[in-house]
Amino acid sequence: MERNETMEQNNKLSSIGEFGLIEKFKKGILVAQRSVIVGIGDDAAVIKMPRGSKYQLFTTDMLVEGVHFDLSYTPPFQLGWKALSINISDIAAMGGIPTFALVSLGLKKDTSVKFVEDIYRGIKRVAKRFSVDIVGGDTVSSSYLTINISLLGEVERENLILRRGAKPGDSIFVTGTLGDSAVGLALLKRADHPLLTTQKTIRAHLTPLPRLKEARALAQTQKVSSMIDVSDGLASDLIRIAEASKVGVKVYADKIPLSFSSKKGSKLLKKEPLDFALYGGEDYELLFTIPKSQVDKLSSQFTKKVKTHLQIIGEITPPEEGYQLLNYKGRKIRLKAGGYNHFLYNKGEKLK
Query: What is the spatial distance between Cα 62 and Cα 64, in angstroms, rounded to a whole number?
Result: 7
Query: What is the spatial distance between Cα 112 and Cα 107, in angstroms, rounded to a whole number?
Result: 10
Q: What is the pLDDT of residues 268-327, one digit of tens each?
A: 999 999 999 999 999 999 999 999 999 999 988 898 899 999 999 999 999 999 999 999
**Residue 252 dihedral angles phi and psi, to the nearest 5°:** -105, 120
Confidence at residue 192, expressed as pLDDT on a 0 to 100 scale: 66
Confidence at residue 300, expressed as pLDDT on a 0 to 100 scale: 87
Residue 228 contacts residue 166 (beta carbons within 8 Å): no
For the chain, domains (ranges, CATH) are 31-158 (3.30.1330.10), 161-334 (3.90.650.10)
Q: Kindly give, in sequence order, each residue whose CB lies less than 8 Å from that of residue 19, ignoring residues fewer than 6 positions away.
A: 341
Percentage of the chain exceeding pLDDT 70: 83
Residue 9 has pLDDT above 80, yes or no: no
Reported as a pLDDT band with limits 50, 70 and 90, residue 195 is: low
Confidence at residue 37, expressed as pLDDT on a 0 to 100 scale: 74
Confidence at residue 85, expressed as pLDDT on a 0 to 100 scale: 98
The mean pLDDT of 161-174, rounded to a whole number, is: 97
Alpha helices in the chain (DSSP H): 3-10, 13-28, 76-93, 113-129, 180-188, 195-206, 212-221, 234-245, 260-269, 273-279, 295-305
